[in-house]
Amino acid sequence: MTGAEAYAAPTPRVFYIHDDLSEYVCRHQGEASLAWQLMRELFALIRRDSEHVVVLTLESQIEHLLAHSSHTPFALAIGIGRAGERVAQQLHARTGWFPKISRVDVTREEDGRGGYNVITTTGISLAQQLSTLDMVSSLAVIDDTVFSGLTMRTVLRALPPAVQARTQAFCLRGVAASLASIAAICPIAIGFAAPGRLLDEVSFINASGLVIRVGIRHPDQPPQAFFERPLWMWAWFPGYADEVIALCQRLNNILEPDGHPAQFP
């Protein structure tokens, strides 16, 4: 068994969807556009089963994190990928914690056998990207989501031991069961932690991944949107997945009209 067939359809009891799509569509298409109308229809549809699907907002996650965290400014903040860099900028705008923000260009990629690898997106190894940190007096490492924790653990374990001891991790949302593996390396502050076992009780996605080809990454193949993996969609939206897929396809045709992955965000 290879490729998509190696990845069983996750069937979480509670399925959390972070809305990173509204701001993107508003910025690129406008609130008077067909894309905005379709996006609103999509969110109304996925909320049909409100006991199963929970839509998370950026503001609620930031407010919770700030209510439970207080820090002096860090000498350096590292965002994991573009998403982590964006979170660092959003938090800094509210707190002033991260006056200097850098980025490590890594992402999670399917290995075709049911597992995942953390790979660089620039051809520069993670060790090289982190090679100048020895003298950093305090470090923040920031991601948007801790799901299995694989990406965050990989970055933290690549830090020099002395720097690791001066590091604080941040993320906006995650699975509570995965946080222990991060906390064993360094403290972590989180905006929303979902209780339950990974995949069969709780799962997370970003709404952008439903319609833009950023959700699923493969080696030596173009990325995919989640609507292009129907088995997962049927598991996530039982009884109305075909309607969700159809709306995602219509929205994708507007956001990625040439069929190539859009630059997100």
Do 93 and 58 form a contact (C-beta atoms < 8 A)?
no
pLDDT on residue 197: 85
Chain segment 39-76, per-residue pLDDT in tens: 999 999 999 999 999 999 999 999 999 999 999 999 99
CA 262/CA 254 separation, integer angstroms:
11
- In sequence order, the 6+-apart residues with CB closer than 8 A to the CB of 124 are 105
pLDDT on residue 1: 46
pLDDT on residue 261: 65
Question: Angle at which helices 21-28 and 34-46 pack, to 10 degrees?
Answer: 170
Burial state string for 225-262 with b = 16 or more CB within 10 A and e = fewer than 16: bbbbbeebbbbbbeeebeebbebbeebbebbbeeeeeb
3-state secondary structure of 117: strand
CA 42/CA 190 separation, integer angstroms:
28
Task: Give the domain ranges of the chain.
Answer: 58-194
pLDDT on residue 114: 86
Tell me which CATH code domain 58-194 carries. Answer: 3.40.50.2020
CA 209/CA 244 separation, integer angstroms:
13
Residue 82 buriedness (CB in 10 A; 0-12 / 13-18 / 19+):
middle
Q: How far is CA 205 from CA 168, 180, 184, 230, in A?
A: 24, 20, 25, 15
End-to-end CA distance of the chain: 34
Question: Angle at which helices 81-95 and 58-67 pack, to 10 degrees?
Answer: 60
pTM of the model: 0.92
Q: Which residues pair with 202 in a beta bridge?
A: 14, 198
Do 215 and 205 form a contact (C-beta atoms < 8 A)?
yes
pLDDT on residue 184: 95
Would you state the torsion angle of the CA atoms of residues 163, 165, 166, 170, taken in this order, to the nearest 10 degrees? 100
Do 101 and 79 form a contact (C-beta atoms < 8 A)?
yes
Q: How far is CA 186 from CA 85, 167, 220, 243, in A?
A: 19, 6, 34, 43
For the chain, which ranges sit under pLDDT 70? 1-5, 261
* 115 Rama class: left (phi>0) / alpha (psi -120 to 50) / beta: beta
CA neighbor of 24 nearest in space, from 236, 206, 227, 233 = 206
pLDDT on residue 3: 64
pLDDT on residue 258: 86
pLDDT on residue 27: 94
